[in-house]
Structure 1
Amino acid sequence: MTSAYAVFPYDPASWPDGLRRIARPGVLERWGAVDRSPHAPRLVAVPDGGGDGDGHGWAAAALVTARPGTAYVKIVDAVGDVPAAAGAVVSYAGERGLVQVVWEGWTVSAEDAVASGFAPLRPPLTREGPGAGGPGAGYVRWLVAEDVAEPAYYRQSTDFTCAAVTALVARAQAGAERWESLDRAAELTLWRDATNFPACEPVGLGVAVRRRWPTASVEVFLDTDEPVLLDHLSGSEREWRAVLQQASRADARRTGVPVDGRRLSLAEVREAVGRRERQVLLLVSLTTMQGFDVPHWVLCHGVVPGAVVLEDPWCNAAAGESWVDAHLLPVPDASLDAMSLLGEDRVRGAVLIGPG
C-alpha cells in the first residue's frame, strides 16, 4: 500500500495530462458520461518518480466518489499501476476517518482486487429495470474491525416499493424467505398490502410484515399519533390517507403488533442490530445522501465502529451511482440520526423484526 498521493479536481472537460497518458479513452468517456457532481468526485493520483506534482508524470490514478453523509469512498475505476492506485485510495480514506472503500468492477479483475486487499461482493439479484445497471462485480475493503453479514443486493423496481424490498431482504437474510423468491411480483404484492398510496407508513408496514410472516416478532416505533408522510398533501388527498393510517393502527391492535409511541434512539438501533437479535427497517429522508427530501426506507442490518451498515434498495444512476454505492453502506451515527427525523414535526419511524 502506498501513502504517496495527490488529490485533483474532477473535470471531464479538461482531464489532466498525467491522466490522459495512462487512461484509455473509453474509460475517460465513461467517467464523464454522467453528472457525478452530487457525490464529490475527485481524482486520487500517484505521481511517478519523475513527476513534478502538478498533474504531470502520473504512475496511477483513481476516480473516487461517495454519497454525502456516509463513511465510505468508492473507486469507480483505477488506471495505470492499479495496485498503487488502490493503495493510494485506501490511504486517502483512512486519513479521513472513513470505514470502508468499495470498488466498482468495470475494469479491475477479481485477482487484482483481492491482491489489493478487497473482498468480492455478492452479485446483485437484479440487473434490469430503471437504474439497475452498473458493473457486474464489486469489491469491498473495510478499514475497521467488522463482523457484518452480507445480504444479497436487490434493487427496487419502482420509485415507491422501498419498504417492501427492505422487508423482503430482511426476511431473506434471516432465513425466513428464499433469496430466489425475491422478484418483482413479491415486491409489488407486499407493497400492495402495506401501502398508504404510494408510500408505506410505519404502522401499515409493520402490519403487512406480520401478515406476510406471522411467526416473526414485529414492533413499530413512531413518536407521533398523527398521520405521517402527508406533509406534501392537503384537503381530500390528505384526509383519505389519514383514514387509512387510522385503519392501520386498528389492524395493529387486532393482530397484536405493538406500536411504541416513543422515539427509537440510534443507540437502540445499534444495540438491536449489533446483537443480531433484530433487523431495523428505518425511515429516512434522502436530502443528505441524494439532495432531495423524499422519505425512503432502508434496512439497518450491521454495525461497525462509528457507523450503522445499511442496505439501500435505491441508487441514483443519473449521478453515477450503482448498486455498489447502496450495498453494505456505512452511515455515521450522527448522520443517520439526523436523516431519520422526517417531516415538519421531525418524527422517526421504524419497524423492528426479530425471530418469532
Structure 2
Amino acid sequence: MPSSQQEAPAERTVVPFEPGALPGPLRRLGRHEVLERWQSVDRSGHGARIVAVTGDSADWTGAALVTARPHTAYLKIVDAVGDVPAAVAAVVDHARDRGLAQVKWEGWTARPEDAAAAGFTALRPPLAGGTQDEPGPASGYVRWLSAGAEVTEPPYYRQSTHFSCGAVTALVAQAHAGLLPSRSLDRRAELTLWRDATNFPSCEPVGLGVAVRRAWPSSSVAVHLDVDRPVLLDHFPETEQEWRAHLQGMSRADAARVGVPIVQQPLSSAGIRNAVERRERVLLLISLAGMQGFEVPHWVLCHGTVPGAVVIEDPWAGTATGDTWVDAHLLPVSDASLDTMSAVPPDQFHGAVLIGGEATG
C-alpha cells in the first residue's frame, strides 16, 4: 500500500485515573464489572493512569488502567478494554518512553493468546500460602523491555504472617537455587525457619543468616550489617528491648561458631548486582516507605538484574491499594531507588544476608 494511503497510527493519551469522574469514552468501552473493580480500591498511591488510544473519529477505541508501586521500574496493566491490542501496545510504548524495564498485565480479563501476541510471557502462578487464597488474579503476564533481558523466575510465595518475610525470602532463595523443592515451600516450612531466625517477632540480619546456615549447611552465608549494635528494636519499650538485644548477642556468638562472617559495611546496589551476577542470592532488608508509603522494615530477595534495575521478590502485597502478587513478583527496582530503600530508619542502617554455593568452612 502506498505510504500516503497507510492507516495513521493510533494517538496515545495518558490521563489520571479519577474513580469518581470516569471519562465518558471509558464508560462506553469498559464492562461494568471491570470498571467496578478499578474503583473498588484506592489506587492513588500507585500513580493510577488511563492510557487510551483514539481512532479516526478522535474518540477512544481502547484503554487500559495502569498502576505501579512508587520508586520502581515497571508499569502494570490492570485491565485493557475496547481495542485491547492497541491499548496494550500504547502502554508498552508509554513504558519505553519512560525508560522502564518491564510491563506486567494482570490476568483478570487478559486472554493468554492476547498476552502472547503482545509479547508477554505467562508468570508462574503463586504457590498456595498459609491462607490458601492468594489475593489478586489467578494469572499474570510479563514483558521485559530491555533487549536480551533474561531473568530466571523463582516461585512466588506470599508470607502468611506480618512478620515472617525474612524466612520466606530465604526459602524462596533456596527454592530458586534448586536446593528446596517448590512443593516444600509451605506454611510449615515458613514458620519452622522463622522460629529459628526470629528476634520476636521480626528477623534481624545476624539471626537470619545463622538460621539459613543451620538449615542449609552446604550453602555459604555472609551477613552485611554496618552497625555493631542490636537493630530493629527502637519501636519497643526499653524493657522489651533488653532481652531482645541479649538474643541478638547470642546470634552473633552463634554466627562465629557456625562460620557466618559479619561484614560491617553496607551492601550497595552495585554490590548486590555483582553478587547476583555471581549467582548468589541476596536477602535485603529495606524500608517500605518508598514503595508502600509506611515505615516498616521488610525483607526482600534480590535475584536478577536488568539494565538499570535489580529484580526482587517481595513476599508481601498491599491488596487495599490494588497491589497484588503480580506487582510483587519479578519486581524491577532501579539501582538508585534500591540504595535509598536499603537505608533503614531511624538511623539509616543497612542489613543483608548473602547466600552462595558450597560452604568452605
Check if 1:344 corresponds to 2:346.
yes
Per the alignment, residue 307 of structure 2 pairs with 305
- Please report how far the alpha carbon of residue 70 of structure 1 lies from its aligned counterpart in structure 2 after TM superposition: 0.1
Q: 2:259 aligns with which of 234, 239, 256?
A: 256
- Please report how far the alpha carbon of residue 232 of structure 1 lies from its aligned counterpart in structure 2 after TM superposition: 1.1
Per the alignment, residue 192 of structure 2 pairs with 189
Alpha carbons 2:10, 2:54 under 8 Å: kept: no
Alpha carbons 2:46, 2:68 under 8 Å: kept: yes
Within-5 A mapping of 1:78-227: 78-126=80-128, 129=131, 132-145=134-147, 146-227=149-230
Deviation by residue 1:308-337 (Cα, 9 ceiling, x = unmatched): 000000000000011000000000000000
Alpha carbons 2:317, 2:325 under 8 Å: kept: yes
Q: 1:12 aligns with which of 10, 19, 27?
A: 19
CA distance 1:182–1:33, change in 2 (3 Å): same
C-alpha distance in 1 between matches for 2:165 and 2:323:
17
CA distance 1:39–1:117, change in 2 (3 Å): same
Q: Which amino acid aligns with 1:75?
A: I
Matched residue SS, 2:266: coil
CA distance 1:212–1:127, change in 2 (3 Å): closer
Deviation by residue 1:256-275 (Cα, 9 ceiling, x = unmatched): 11111122222111001023
Alpha carbons 2:169, 2:300 under 8 Å: kept: yes
Check if 1:267 corresponds to 2:270.
yes
Which sits farther off after the overlay, 341-350 or 180-189? 341-350
Deviation by residue 1:12-45 (Cα, 9 ceiling, x = unmatched): 2121110111110110001100111110101000
Alpha carbons 1:131, 1:315 under 8 Å: kept: no
Matched residue SS, 2:229: coil
CA distance 1:152–1:259, change in 2 (3 Å): same
Q: 1:238 aligns with which of 238, 241, 244?
A: 241
Which sits farther off after the overlay, 333-342 or 8-17? 8-17
Deviation by residue 1:57-81 (Cα, 9 ceiling, x = unmatched): 2100000000000000000000001
Q: 1:25 aligns with which of 26, 32, 40?
A: 32
C-alpha distance in 1 between matches for 2:348 and 2:220:
27
C-alpha distance in 1 between matches for 2:160 and 2:255:
28
Alpha carbons 1:73, 1:93 under 8 Å: kept: yes
C-alpha distance in 2 between matches for 1:245 and 1:28:
50
C-alpha distance in 2 between matches for 1:21 and 1:265:
49
Percent sequence identity is 64
Q: Which amino acid aligns with 1:118?
A: F
CA distance 1:196–1:131, change in 2 (3 Å): farther
C-alpha distance in 1 between matches for 2:345 and 2:126:
32
Alpha carbons 1:126, 1:153 under 8 Å: kept: no
C-alpha distance in 2 between matches for 1:76 and 1:88:
14
Q: Which amino acid aligns with 2:298?
A: H
Per the alignment, residue 318 of structure 1 pairs with 320
CA distance 1:326–1:150, change in 2 (3 Å): same
- Please report how far the alpha carbon of residue 49 of structure 1 lies from its aligned counterpart in structure 2 after TM superposition: 1.1
Deviation by residue 1:199-228 (Cα, 9 ceiling, x = unmatched): 100000000001111111000010011111
C-alpha distance in 2 between matches for 1:150 and 1:289:
22
Per the alignment, residue 48 of structure 1 pairs with 55
C-alpha distance in 2 between matches for 1:213 and 1:272:
19
TM-score, length basis structure 2 = 0.95
Per the alignment, residue 36 of structure 1 pairs with 43
C-alpha distance in 1 between matches for 2:159 and 2:121:
25
Alpha carbons 2:130, 2:187 under 8 Å: kept: no
C-alpha distance in 2 between matches for 1:10 and 1:266:
33
Can you give the 5+ residue segments of structure 1 that lack an aligned partner in the other structure?
A: 52-56
Per the alignment, residue 54 of structure 1 pairs with none
C-alpha distance in 1 between matches for 2:100 and 2:265:
32
Alpha carbons 1:127, 1:133 under 8 Å: kept: no
TM-score, length basis structure 1 = 0.96
- Please report how far the alpha carbon of residue 47 of structure 1 lies from its aligned counterpart in structure 2 after TM superposition: 1.1
